[in-house]
Chains A and B, each alone.
Chain A
Amino acid sequence: MHESRNRRGTTNRAPTISATSPRLRHRREHAPTRVLVLRESHETPENVTRRLERAGGINRFGEPNYRAVWGWNRLAWIGGKFEEHDPATGSLLRKVVELRQEPKYPAVNRWHIERWVGPEAYGSPRLWYAQTIERENGISIPALGPYPSRGEYEHCFTLEGPRGEFLQLTPTAAEHIARAIEFSRHLPRSRKRSSVDDRERREDRAYDAWAYDQLDNAVPAFHKQPFVTVG
């Protein structure tokens, strides 16, 4: 099977035609080429990296506190027993116990902003393995991979529109998100709590107003009050 990568990191694969009959060979030779995009990878632009470093500073290892990553490029360890299913029928094909690197976030075709979290946030190595070791078929495997002794970058924000549409990564947007998170980090907990509570109250009032409007729609215009022309 022919596979190629372009400079942007897009992996293209030509579809395979296994049959060798002259008719199918003719079709293959004269059909327009169809390219299936299997995965698209992108490196973070240098100017975005610089702006994020300026907005969030660097950590104790001299690495930036914030970074932008493309979903397909961001891999993380997943260990344990995997069940592999036939995509067409959904039926179980096999079970395998192993440690893999797989895309960390469900939105693989989006840019994500991550923040560095220190190793202490994950507890001690002993605690990490106590919490994450899974035993399958007599094999012990760390479900989240090795202990993050240099910390780990965790998901902060997926760059997409309100309806989930793609948004391009720009230095300005990346810096704005990092500064917003830094601003959030320094807010008092009580204020954060009250803003969540306020939102719940607001949603409650929004339901009331909406319900009253709906019921108003059920009655005649002007509530059947007589009216006269003025003027």
Chain B
Amino acid sequence: MPAQANANVVALQLEKVRDKVPLLYERDDILLTMIQQRGDVEKVSSRNMRLPLQVNPGGKAGSYNADGGDLGRGSGTAYDVAQVSPIFFRFAIEITKPVEYATTGRDRAVENATKREVANGMKQFRSFLDKLMQTAGNGVLGTINSVASTTFTMTVPYGAALVYPGQTIQIYDTTLTTNRNVAAGVTTTVLTADPVTTQNITVDNVPTGTVATDVIVHDGLTGAQPVSLFGIKYHQNNATTGTWLNLNRATYPIQLQTPRVNAGNAALTPSNVRLAINKVRKSLGINHISKLIAYMAVEQEHAWENLGITVSQIIKEGGSDGNDLDLLFSGRKTMSGIPIKSSVNADQTRVDFLDLSHWGRAVLKDIDFYEVNGNTVFPIYGASGGIAASYIFYFDTAFQVWDDSPRTGAFIDTLARPSGY
């Protein structure tokens, strides 16, 4: 009987934790997983999922002459259909020979190594998808402000917030037409990223022709005007041209437009917030904002604290005198009464008011290990065609995010960042 290969032991361990993978993925602490898989559209086929939308009300109202007058004709509600097609995403994890040496023959060690790789990989995959949720549906993770050798200084927003060291990226021109990596025949990997201070990223290869204003997109996208996950900036958008879920924005310029407040590069103020909230109330009804959340970067949460009208995070952590009344502060932070959800991935210059009851995920394939004929762990082959000293497994999922009522939200953009960021 041949000796058991370590890859087989890893596969066995992966199988043991397989039912935990959806649990690790679906924990609703990030925006992506706060958007529920909706029961009515939980599973979609590879064809587009169709979302019927009431775009215009029906009926003809008016007065009439009861003394034999003509009451006129009526009309019906106008509907159109938005369409969503899922995108496949994967996350590849490789286990190399040193891990095998550290774990040979000991089940407990293999178990720990596998556990570590699954937990870390899932965390990173969720983070990647949550970063995509911040984008405009084209996979753009950042814009290059300047290039110095292999260092890119990135424009805020997003700065260097949406990439991570070790990530394979592609560089496109500003119109998303020319893929510079394909043109130059090179692969670019992020070596370091500083999303806090300098907003610099360093890479291993800079494709020929890379200039300031070029954009960085994630790995796997191809062709001109690539399509990725439809994030916040895709749905919460006040554009009146272009397309939204296969509908022409110009056809429904009012219905598909999310109310916007332009802060004009000034700091966040209570009146910005009231303006944005009131826009939602005016379009949906005065009492229809109870489901809103205020989604923002930690920078804007800090800016709100700086206004001096809220309880600081320090107090919420029981940093005052720690008496029973501090339980008052154990609830959620609010912005003018709207619960705050902040994220390190969110646009640093923007506050979005979201009603997540109108958002959903159309899922074609639930999160799981990628499987071929029952195998979840695969060998790596070297350049010679021989076996390489590592093996690989993947997480994969296919879904798309939709919002059936873009007017239900609002956003404040072009906000100044507080000093120190």
Interface residues of A, Cβ cutoff 8 Å to B? 76, 78, 80-85, 91-92, 94, 102-108, 112, 115, 117, 121-122, 128, 131-132, 143-144, 152, 154-164, 167, 172-173, 176-177, 180-181, 183-185, 187, 189-193, 195-197, 199-200, 203, 207-208, 210-212, 214-219, 223-225
State in angstroms the CA–CA spacing of A218 and B282 once bound together: 51
A55 CB → nearest B CB, Å: 13
State in angstroms the CA–CA spacing of A209 and B334 once bound together: 28
Residues from chain A with Cβ under 8 Å of B270 in the complex: 117, 121, 152, 154-155
State in angstroms the CA–CA spacing of A154 and B57 once bound together: 37
Q: Are A216 and B282 also in contact (CB < 8 A) when A158-B337, A187-B312, A193-B302 are?
A: no
Residues from chain A with Cβ under 8 Å of B73 in the complex: none
Residues from chain A with Cβ under 8 Å of B337 in the complex: 104-107, 112, 155, 158
Name the contact of B334 in the complex, choosing from A117, A155, A207, A214 (C-beta under 8 A).
A155
Q: Are A215 and B298 also in contact (CB < 8 A) when A81-B282, A132-B275 are?
A: no
What are some 17 contacts across the A-B interface (CB < 8 A)? A85-B285, A105-B337, A121-B307, A143-B278, A156-B309, A156-B310, A164-B331, A181-B308, A189-B302, A190-B420, A195-B314, A199-B313, A211-B24, A211-B123, A214-B20, A219-B17, A223-B107
State in angstroms the CA–CA spacing of A158 and B340 once bound together: 13
Name the contact of B77 in the complex, choosing from A91, A106, A214 (C-beta under 8 A).
A91
Task: Specify the chain B residue showing the minimal Cβ separation from A214.
Answer: B20
Residues from chain B with Cβ under 8 Å of A84 in the complex: 285
Contact B315 A196 (CB under 8 A): no
Q: Are A223 and B108 also in contact (CB < 8 A) when A180-B329, A181-B311, A184-B308 are?
A: yes
Interface residues of B, Cβ cutoff 8 Å to A? 16-17, 19-20, 23-24, 27, 29, 57-59, 61, 77, 107-108, 111, 115, 118-119, 122-123, 269-271, 274-275, 278-279, 281-287, 289-290, 292, 298, 301-302, 305-315, 317, 319-320, 325, 327-331, 334, 336-338, 342, 344, 418-420
Residues from chain A with Cβ under 8 Å of B312 in the complex: 183-184, 187, 192, 195
Contact A195 B317 (CB under 8 A): yes
Q: Are A189 and B420 also in contact (CB < 8 A) when A80-B278, A144-B274 are?
A: yes
